[in-house]
Each structure stands twice: as C-alpha cells, then as structure tokens.
Structure 1
Amino acid sequence: MIFPIVYNWVIIILRTCFTAIALSYLPVWLTLDYLSDLMYTTDMIITLHTGYLDQGILIKDLTRLRTRYLHSKHFLRDLASLLPTDFLYFAFGIETPLVRINRLLRMPRLNEVLDRMETRTSYPNTFRISKLMLYIFVLIHWNACLYFALSNYIGFGSDRWVYPNITNPEFASMRRQYFYCFWFSAQIFTTVGDTPLPDREEEYLFMIADLLIAVLVFASIVGNVGNVITSLRDRDNVFFPNHELVKGYLRSRHISKELRQRIDNWYQHLHINKKIMRENEILQQLPVHMRTEIAVSVHLPTLSKVTIFQSCEKSLLEELVLKLTPQVFSPGEYVCRKGDVGHEMYIIKEGKLAVVADDGVTEFAVLSEGNFFGEISILNIKGNKSGNRRTANIRSIGYSDLFSLSKEDLTDVLSEFPAAKRHLEEKGRQILTKMGMLEESGEAAKGEAEKVETKIQRLEGNLEILQTKLARLMVELESSNRKMQARVEQLELEVAALEVQKRERNVKGRENKWKAEEKKEQGTFKLNAFGCFI
C-alpha cells in the first residue's frame, strides 16, 4: 500500500499545480491512476479476508470477518476513497486531477503499514529516520506545488518573490520549474539562505504559514533525531558496560597507566567486535519460555560439546543454557591457576587458551574453540584426589570469549533432576579414573567409614551434653515450682486474714451505729418527760 498512497499524495497535487507536467505525461498518469485504484480495490478484498484477534483467538470465519469490516469506519473510509469521482472529468476537463482528491483518504492505511514495518524491521532507528524524511519530502513537495500555483495566480515574474517569468527560456522547462519551487520551499522550511522578501498580502500570508509550519517541522526533526540518538545510546548502555564510569573510577583511584590501558583495550575489543555481555538484562522483559528458546538456539550447540553433558535429557540442558554467563579475557590473562578452588567450568566460544607451567612460559597444550575445562571441579565427586582444585594453569593467548557455568547454578538445576545428577557423577568418576585422580574404592570406603564413626562419636558427645543440660533444667524447674507454690499459699493466707479483719470491722461498725441510735432515743424520751413534768 505504500506505492499507491504515496503516489496519490505526490502526483495529484503535482498535476493540479503544474499543468504542463500533467498534460505532457497524461497517458502515464492515467495508467498509474487506475493501477493505484486497482491496488486500493485489492486491499479492500484482502482486508475482507484478514483475520483478527478476539481475546487472543484468531478469528478466520469469513462471515464474522465480513460483518466486522462492513460495519467499521475503515470500510466507510475505504469506500469513500474509491468513489468514481473520475466522471467529473467530463464536467471539469481532463486537466483537473483534483477530482481524485478523495484518494488521499487512505492515509491511515499508510500509517498502519509504516508502524508494522517499524516493529518488524531489524533496524528500527534507520527506518524511523527514513519515515521522517518521507514525511518531510511530501510536505516540501506540497508547499512547492502551492508556491508555483500562487505564482501563477499572481503572475510569473511580477516581482522578485514569485517564480520567474516562464517566457524566459532559462525558466521555461518543466524540470526547472519543479526543482526551483522545491528548492525555494526547502529554503523557507529550513530557514537556510536568503529568500526574497514578499511584496503582496498573499505572499506575506504564504510566508507566515510556511514559517509556522517550519517551526513545527524543525521541532519534529530535532525531536525525532534526538529520540533516535537516545535510543542508540540506551542500546549501547544495555549491550555494553559503561566505560566512562569505569574510567572515572580508575582516575579517582590513581590506577597505574598500564592497567588502565589494558582495561581500555578490553572495552575497545567489546565495541569493535560487538560483544554482548548483558544478555540476561536485554531479554529480561521476554517471557521465560521465549528466553529459553533464544538461549537454546544460541548456546545449546556449545553446551552440547561438553563431555559430561552429552546424552543428558534436553530439559536439563535447556535449564543450564539460561545459567551460562559470557566472559571475555584479555591477552595474557589467567583464566585459572593451579591449586585454586574451582567454582565454575568454562566453555571456549572463540579464541585460544594455553595450558602453561608454573613459570608462565612453557606451554603444554593449546585449547581452541569448542574445548572446555573445569567440568570436574563443579561436581562434588567423592574420592577426587584434587579436592575440586585446579590442576593446571590456563592463560588466554589473545582475546578469548568463554561461557562460564558456576557450581551453584549446576547444583540448583540438578536438584530437580536426580537421575541426571547420578548420571553426571558417574561420568565424572569415569573421567577421574582415566586420569588417575580417583581414590581406590576400598580406601575411599574406609575413609568414609572413619568419617561416619567420627560423626557418630561427635553426635553421642553432643547428646550427653544435651541430656545433662536437660536434667539441670528439670531440677531448676521443680525448685521453681515449689517456691511458687509456697508463695501462692502465703498469699492465700494473707488474703484470708484481710477478709477476716474486714468482716470484723464491718460488725463493729454496725454495733456502734446501733448504740448511737439507742442513746439518741433515750435522750429524747427524758426531755419530753421532763417537759411534761414542768
């Protein structure tokens, strides 16, 4: 749909304003016109048969598709864009292509096309810039056509602002007319160069409108380009470690120049070769099953080369590939040293590593792409004479890309696959036996029995200590119970005594009250008798 929509947006206004171009190539324009109409019609038929999602389910039923499309605004707009307005040619003449202005109604379809392409392209930033340039071209093209039409209305060559007189052979050719107008329009929008000052009101209004549009266009260009640059910077910050922060830290800590140079070279190697060190952060927003599929497609062939993981079930390998961590080693850097405790195994993706002696000069072997080492150290195999320690010095010859798998990650995964754990341990014992690094079974069993006996004795001693502590606690508990019981009995006696005293005080109080009332009654009687006697 890009071709017919852009064609109509560019050619209809071109033929309307540049009549010479419209009449000179009329058979070509008519052919392209009806070819674009045919593509519009084909698009409607295809849309009528295009499924849609209803709550995540793809609907393909033709009846439902037809009903949905015919009752939508898209159908009305598509139908209006195909109305046979070409019959107006008989009324206005074949030189008035403006009768096909309804073909511009398909613009939303172009936006849909560009949005889908942007989500599917592998270079979205480049596509955004291209889409922006397309919009700018169409805008300048329309402005150039309107400028030429306005010049025709005012009069060619009537002043310095309009298009020069077309009677002049220098400005008479159609190609010169379009290029001059396009250049003049681009000058106005970009405000680059000196444009002639307008003389008429129409010219002033045209320039004012162009300058206002130029402000919006300039803001759009700056904003879109700024977004693209920001997206590129964000992508680099996610893909690669932030070099500036590390450099600032090294300067503040006064790190030696030699070490700083090595670190700068390491960063330079990452950027030049596009080494991605933060895969987990990049894919973090994807669902787990999609991350697993990506990791399987990228890392599973590499993991399958490891001897102990061959013949393992696929689900185990899918869990392990999510645990692989990319690492890059610089030239001369030691990956591991003899005697170090092994916490991870390594798989060589790119580069070469040398197995060197303790002097760091003598090389015993060279490991290249597809080789691996350290796989036995991440399996706690009983009887391993090395005690999970490194048995060799391995140094990177140049820049080497490795995948590491830690012992903790392997243990977590194997906890869910007990059969695979036994299988891997058996393979590891076979490898150690061939290397002569596995203790004899009798000695191993004897050592294991001694360890068990020691553990039993230690447990018995701990049990005796716990029993003594328990007996002491029981005695203390009984003593506390007796003291508590005596205290409770004493409190009960005190409470009973207080109740008796309270009861006695109440009885005495009532007796005193009765005596007082009796005396009062006797005094009243004597007074009355005496009074009567008087």
Structure 2
Amino acid sequence: MSQDSKVKTTESSSSAPPKARKLLPVLDPSGDYYYWWLNTMVFPVMYNLIIVVCRACFPDLQRYYLVAWLVLDCTSDLLYLLDIVVRFHTGFLEQGILVVDKGRISSRYVCTWSFFLDLASLLPTEVAYVSLGPHTPTTLRLNRFLRVPRPFEAFDRMETCTVHPNAFRIAKLMLYVFAVIHWNSCLYFALSRYLGFGSDAWVYPDPVQPGFEQLRRQYLYSFYFSTLILTTVGDTPLSDREEEYLFMVGDFLPAVMGFTTIMGSMSSVIYNMNTADAAFYPDHALVKKYMKLHCVNRRLQRRVMDWYQHLQINKKMTNEVAILQHLPERLRAEVAVSVHLPTLSRVRIFQNCEAGLLEELVLKLQPQTYSPGKHIGRKGDTGREMYIIQEGQPAVVADDGVTRYAVPGAGLYCGEISIINIKGNMSGNRRTANIKSLGYSDLFCLSKEDLQEVLSEYPQAQAVMEEKGREILLTMNKLDVNAEAAETALQEATEAQLRGLDQQLDDLQTRFARLLAELESRALKIAYRIERQEWQTQEWPMPEELAEADHEGKPGEGTSKDGEGRAGQEGPPSPEGPHGHSPDPHHQLNPEL
C-alpha cells in the first residue's frame, strides 16, 4: 500500500463523525466482539442445517409446531441480515495495518464470493408459502445452507482461543458425526415414505401399527437405522429394490471414508495430547531404559521414578525455555516477567535495579526440583549459581546433615553473594553452609555466567549490585577491607599498565604507517626512473606524462633524509652536459644505430 493510501485511510477514519463511529463501529477481525458474533452465528446456521431438513422429511414435525418454526425462521433470517451488516463493518489488514475506512471495506466485501452467497442465502423463498400453503415441506429454505462457512470460521477461532483444544476437537468431531447421521436418517425416512411404509422389511414400518405413528418413534428408528449403516455394523434388513440398493451403497462408501477420517482424527488428538505432555514434562521412558541397560541399583531407580512422578502429579515444569521458544523475544520476556518477576524482586541484592536488567534476568531463571534428602549446596563448594525458593523447605544443616540451623521458606534465597565477584570476599565465592532439601523443593536457579552476561550490558547496575553485596558481607563480617583496597590498587595498576601498552601500540602503529608511506613513495620514484631511462634509450619520443613528471621533479622525492630527494629532482645529466654545453660529438650515439 502506498503512502498516499495510508494517509487517506487515516484521514478518512479520523474525519468520521464520532456519533456515527459510535453507532456503527468498525470491528477488528481478531477482536473479541467479532469473535462473539461468530459464536452467535453458529446457532442460526446450525438451526437451518439440522431442523430444516428434518421438517422437510417429517411432515408431522412441520405441522405440529408451525408457529414455533415461523418465529425461529424469522429470527434466523434477521440474524442473517445482521451478519451482512457486520460484514460491511469488519475491517481487514493491509500491510499489517487495520483498515477502518468503511468505503474500502464495503467495496472489498462486495467484490468477494461471500457477498453473493450471503445475498443468495437471504432470498425470500418463503413467499411461495402464500400460494402453496404454510404446511408445505421446507425445501424452500435450502438456500439458507449457503452460510455454512460461518460456523467453520467460528470453530477455528474457538479452537485457537479455548484452553482445552483437544476436548474441543473431539466435541466438534462428534457434532459432525451427529449431523451426518441426522441427515441420513431424514433421507431414509423420506425414501421409506416414497417407497411406501411397511412395503418390505427394509423401509420404515407402517405407521398404522401401534407405536410407530409417534413422531419421536419415527425419528429414533430412522436415526438408529442410519447409525447401523454408517458405522458399518451391519445387522440391517436385506434390500429388495433398486432404490434400497443404491441407498445402501451410497451410505457404505462415505461410511468407510468417514470411519477412517474419525480414526485419523482421534489418533491426531491423542498424538497432540502426548506431544503436549512431552513438551511440558520430561520423558522418563528414555531415562528408565538407560538405567536398566546400565544395571543401576533399584534404590536409585526408585528415586528417579519418584522424582518424575512428582513432576507429573503436581504439574511441575522444568523446560519453560523450550515451551516459550517460539514466541517473539519481547513477548517471551513479558510472559516471563508476569510469572517470575515478583519472585526475583524479593531478592535483596536485585532490589532497586533497572527494569531492563530484571527483565533480562527473568529470562535466565531455570526452574529446578530437588527430591527429599538431596543436597542443594555443600559447604566449601564453589558457588556457580544462586537459588530462589519457590516452594518447599530447604534447610541449612550442619556437616552431619542432621542438625538444622534454619529452615527458610518460600520467597527466600541463598547463594546470591557467590555469583558476584566482590573484592575482599573472605569466603572466596565458596559456599559457607550446607543446604539440604527436606521434602520436594521447587527452586529457581540463576547461574553466574548468565548474570555476568546480563551485567556486561548494564555496568551501572553491576556497580550498584557489587556495593549491595559489600554491605551484606560487612554485616556478616566476611569482607576484608584491606584485601579489598589492595585488590583495588592492583587492579588500578593493571589498568594503568594496559593503558600504557595501548599507547605504545598506537605509537608503533603510527610509525609503521609512516614507514609504509615512505616505502610506497620510494617505490614510485624508482618506477619513474626506470621508465624514463627506458624511453631515453629508444628512438621514440618520451610520453607527455613522463616528461611532465620529469620537469616537475617527481613530487615526494625531496622528503628523503640522505639527499636522494635532491638527486632525484636534478635527474641524470642531460645530453648538453651538466653545464649546458654540448658533449663531445665523438661520444654521441649514431641515430642510424
């Protein structure tokens, strides 16, 4: 779309009167209002698909409830008309921008096949009731079936929006099966009436028999008979007439195809469910097979299986990054922030940090689950990550693993000092306590490498965090101020040496550039000399550019330190000699040679 059309669209949408825009707004096809309107249109279309054919094949149904059908017909026609109005006020995307110009929307809708189908579905075919009578079979309303694409569009939107897509797919499949059997049962009853009720064992029994005159019995018998045919169960009476044979063959062929379609759809739903479970929870079958092949002891196998069972029962996820990997980076960050930012903001060392830093750190959090009795960290180990407690009770224990010093709860953290390189840290970035999981503990892990990667882009935040870490170490009496000052002085001296080396490197580069320029100048000078000597030893005249260069004295040669510049400017002696006199004629070359 050109820039002028964009401006025109914006101007037309902004110049519209506010009252008209409020009365007839332009709907966004991806918005909620349009979504709920699609759901509303499912009812009138399904009413025509299910009820109209039933009224056409069961005359008693049309006759007994005539007033109700007339009211429902008018209501569905009114909704059909409103649907056309909604189509004229539904925007569309062009170059990723929603077009709200009603003129362009209308012209685009009128040029599509949907407009003609919608108009054909609203043709007033009921006018024939005036001459044929209201009890006429409702085949006159078959043009209402042209709105079938609307329910399919609504079903696609529902499947995307629902939180249970697999259950919705199964329900949609069952609806399709019911609609097919319903239509087939109506056609079976109509064929039986055409051939004559009770004329043979295949058709519907004669309504004169007790019980078979009821409308409910007629429909249920036809529905049951159609179910037997379409499910290929068999157990149906033998056909005696050609019409019956044709009906059975016409049912068996779609029945086989429908059966395979249903089986394929169910297999697809089951596969999607298994795939979703595999995406959320790790596959234990491979681990179980690995332990069995390597003859791992049963006690350890039981612990591993208990860990997997805990994840499955309590719906714990350990691979959030893989689940959200297909989202755009910014959208993935927003989802992670909404889930984990309150937990990360509880850590004292991260409080009052920049919002961008916290968003980057949230994407680095890795959920981990520890089983009962598992050590999260041991005293003296090098700290490579910090932990934030989400759920559970990890305890600070003594070296014997039994005596408990403290039991931090949810929202607390440990190991935050070990992942920051703080000068003067007496613990040397090592664990100062043993942390053991009493039960199943769900933690968030933040590695030292991830933190350093993020802090490299936020130097000011890094300084603030190091200052907070020093304050925490001072309160714990684990900060050596003298060692910190010595390390700071050593770092400053190292930086000064690095700056001196950088300056020396710059000087060497400058001198190398000068030498390279002088070398190129001398090479050019030698090339001029050689070419001039070649032309002087031949009988052809010297080219103008060489002569001009010779008269100009070869620029750049005067910069030499050893006087070669002056010699180059003077050049070799001319044929007249250095003092302007002609040389001895005996020394001149014969031109004929």
TM-score of the pair, normalised by structure 1:
0.83
Matching residue's letter, 2:149 = P
Aligned to 1:82: 122
Distance 1:228 1:193, change over 3 A: same
Secondary structure of 1:367's aligned partner: coil
Secondary structure of 1:69's aligned partner: helix
Q: Does 1:24 align with 2:24?
A: no
52, 56, 68: which one aligns with 1:12: 52
160, 163, 177: which one aligns with 2:201: 160
Secondary structure of 2:240's aligned partner: coil
Distance 1:193 1:315, change over 3 A: same
Q: Does 1:401 align with 2:454?
A: no
After TM superposition, give the deviation of residue 444 of structure 1 in Å: 3.4
Distance 1:21 1:430, change over 3 A: same
Distance 1:454 1:220, change over 3 A: closer
After TM superposition, give the deviation of residue 90 of structure 1 in Å: 2.6
In structure 2, how many angstroms separate the alpha carbons of the residues matched to 1:159 and 1:404?
Answer: 77
Distance 1:363 1:149, change over 3 A: same
Aligned to 2:99: 59
346, 368, 386: which one aligns with 2:387: 346
Matches within 5 A, 1:96-135: 96-135=137-176
Residue identity (%): 57
Q: Does 1:42 align with 2:93?
A: no
456, 466, 473: which one aligns with 1:425: 466
In structure 1, how many angstroms separate the alpha carbons of the residues matched to 2:273 and 2:406?
Answer: 42
After TM superposition, give the deviation of residue 291 of structure 1 in Å: 0.4
Aligned to 1:70: 110
309, 314, 329: which one aligns with 1:273: 314
Matching residue's letter, 1:385 = M
User: Once the two structures are superposed, what CA deviation does each residue of 1:478-513 show, in whole Å capped at 9, x if it has no partner?
Assistant: xxxxxxxxxxxxxxxxxxxxxxxxxxxxxxxxxxxx
Matching residue's letter, 2:473 = L
Matching residue's letter, 1:21 = L
Residue range with higher mean Cα deviation, 151-160 or 315-324: 151-160
Distance 1:401 1:99, change over 3 A: same
Aligned to 1:137: 178
Aligned to 1:412: 453
* Aligned-residue RMSD, C-alpha: 2.1
Larger Rg over CA atoms: 1
CA contact (8 A) 1:345 1:378 kept: yes
User: Once the two structures are superposed, what CA deviation does each residue of 1:47-81 show, in whole Å capped at 9, x if it has no partner?
Assistant: 11111101100011111111111222111110100
In structure 2, how many angstroms separate the alpha carbons of the residues matched to 1:443 and 1:280?
Answer: 41
Greater percentage in helix: 1
Matching residue's letter, 1:86 = E
Distance 1:456 1:61, change over 3 A: closer
In structure 1, how many angstroms separate the alpha carbons of the residues matched to 2:211 and 2:273?
Answer: 47
User: Once the two structures are superposed, what CA deviation does each residue of 1:201-233 show, in whole Å capped at 9, x if it has no partner?
Assistant: 111110001101101110110111111111111
Distance 1:351 1:144, change over 3 A: same
User: Once the two structures are superposed, what CA deviation does each residue of 1:296-322 show, in whole Å capped at 9, x if it has no partner?
Assistant: 111111100100001001110001000
Aligned to 1:150: 191
Aligned to 1:510: none
In structure 1, how many angstroms separate the alpha carbons of the residues matched to 2:459 and 2:487?
Answer: 25
Aligned to 2:286: 245
Matches within 5 A, 1:374-523: 374-439=415-480, 441-446=481-486
Aligned to 1:219: 260
In structure 2, how many angstroms separate the alpha carbons of the residues matched to 1:11 and 1:342?
Answer: 72
Distance 1:310 1:395, change over 3 A: same
CA contact (8 A) 1:89 1:96 kept: no
Distance 1:446 1:415, change over 3 A: closer
User: Once the two structures are superposed, what CA deviation does each residue of 1:226-258 show, in whole Å capped at 9, x if it has no partner?
Assistant: 111111111111111111000000000100101
Secondary structure of 1:232's aligned partner: helix
Distance 1:346 1:196, change over 3 A: same
After TM superposition, give the deviation of residue 121 of structure 1 in Å: 1.2
Distance 1:447 1:93, change over 3 A: closer
In structure 2, how many angstroms separate the alpha carbons of the residues matched to 1:398 and 1:91?
Answer: 82
After TM superposition, give the deviation of residue 449 of structure 1 in Å: 5.3
After TM superposition, give the deviation of residue 341 of structure 1 in Å: 0.3
Distance 1:198 1:312, change over 3 A: same
After TM superposition, give the deviation of residue 455 of structure 1 in Å: 12
Secondary structure of 1:9's aligned partner: helix
Where does structure 1 differ by over 6 angstroms across 4 or more consecutive aligned residues?
Answer: 450-457
After TM superposition, give the deviation of residue 125 of structure 1 in Å: 1.0
Aligned to 2:42: 2
Distance 1:112 1:89, change over 3 A: same
CA contact (8 A) 2:232 2:256 kept: no
CA contact (8 A) 1:344 1:377 kept: yes
In structure 2, how many angstroms separate the alpha carbons of the residues matched to 1:332 and 1:261?
Answer: 14
Aligned to 1:469: none
Matching residue's letter, 2:418 = S
Gaps of 5+ in 2: 1-40, 498-593
359, 362, 374: which one aligns with 1:333: 374
Distance 1:443 1:151, change over 3 A: closer
CA contact (8 A) 2:125 2:140 kept: yes
CA contact (8 A) 2:423 2:488 kept: no
Secondary structure of 1:171's aligned partner: coil
Residue range with higher mean Cα deviation, 192-201 or 35-44: 192-201
Aligned to 1:524: none
Residue range with higher mean Cα deviation, 62-71 or 320-329: 62-71
CA contact (8 A) 1:145 1:181 kept: yes
Distance 1:341 1:11, change over 3 A: same
In structure 2, how many angstroms separate the alpha carbons of the residues matched to 1:200 and 1:428?
Answer: 94
Secondary structure of 2:103's aligned partner: helix
TM-score of the pair, normalised by structure 2:
0.75
Gaps of 5+ in 1: 458-534
Matching residue's letter, 1:79 = L
User: Once the two structures are superposed, what CA deviation does each residue of 1:78-128 show, in whole Å capped at 9, x if it has no partner?
Assistant: 010001010112343322210011000000111111111111111111111
Aligned to 2:273: 232
Matching residue's letter, 1:211 = F
After TM superposition, give the deviation of residue 450 of structure 1 in Å: 7.2
Distance 1:22 1:432, change over 3 A: same
